[in-house]
Amino acid sequence: MSELQQMAPLTAEQWGDAEYAAFGALLGLPADKVPRAGSGEAYDPLNFDIIGMLAHHPEMARLFLRFNGFLLQRGELAGRLRELIILRVALRHRSAFEWGQHVRMGAAVGVTDDDVAALIKGNDGFSGADRIVLDTVDELIADGKAQWDTWQRLVDTVGERAAMEVVFLVGTYAMTGMAFSTWGLQAKPGSAPLPPQDPTTEEGHR
């Protein structure tokens, strides 16, 4: 994809109070404590194309990043289950950026290379809470809802609040997958590549 087919992240000159407040919602910092664009610090906004794209609409970005930060950092769903969910959504919605990001993030919470390989093939390689969560994700993606008996199994396994987070994670990462693919956000160099689409495995996800 050429640069003409990508939404350009904000330049250093385009960052102001509203944009810093948006990034601060994710970092848990007030706007005046967020590293300045172009500073070269680890959390310099220019290091994150995703933030530079979202910040084109700073008020929406501020609210979204606060919500997404809750799901990623303060929710009740176990980290391993959260990352399996995001990876399945990224795979089904063909989001190269999210796949690369969350293969890396998943490794930090117990998602192994073998898990990633199994996830690509379907759900047969999983059991227990992993399998119940992935079955729920596939129903949500395919049908726009989970069946009531599936929902009850999910609640019985992870608890009601964590089960609610499953639904919102699927919706959130389907949404970001659509946005980032539309805007041309590329996977970070060196990140795990999105596996080729194999239509013969689609039924295996159900």
**Nearest 5°: phi and psi at 2?**
-80, 170
> What pLDDT was estimated at residue 4?
54
**Domain ranges within the chain, ordered by starting residue:** 9-71, 78-205
**Of 76, 74, 72, nearest to 86 (Cα)?**
72
Q: pLDDT band for 68, please (50, 70, 90 cuts).
A: very high
Tens-place pLDDT, residues 27-47: 999 999 999 999 999 999 999
Integer Cα distance of 199 and 201 in angstroms: 5
H/E segment holding residue 138: helix 128-143
Tens-place pLDDT, residues 169-179: 999 999 999 99
Q: pLDDT band for 1, please (50, 70, 90 cuts).
A: very low
Instruction: State the DSSP code for 204.
Output: G
Tens-place pLDDT, residues 49-63: 999 999 999 999 999
Judge contact between 159 and 152, C-beta under 8 A: no
Judge contact between 158 and 77, C-beta under 8 A: yes
Tens-place pLDDT, residues 89-135: 999 999 999 999 999 999 999 999 999 999 999 999 999 999 999 99
Instruction: Tell the CATH topology of 78-205.
Output: AhpD-like (1.20.1290)
Q: pLDDT band for 83, please (50, 70, 90 cuts).
A: very high
Tens-place pLDDT, residues 123-164: 999 999 999 999 999 999 999 999 999 999 999 999 999 999
Quick check: 198 pLDDT over 80? no
Dihedral over Cα of 74, 84, 107, 61: its sign: negative
What's at 107, amino acid-wise?
A
Taking CA atoms, 20 is separated from 59, 84, 140, 178, 196, in Å, by: 11, 31, 35, 24, 37
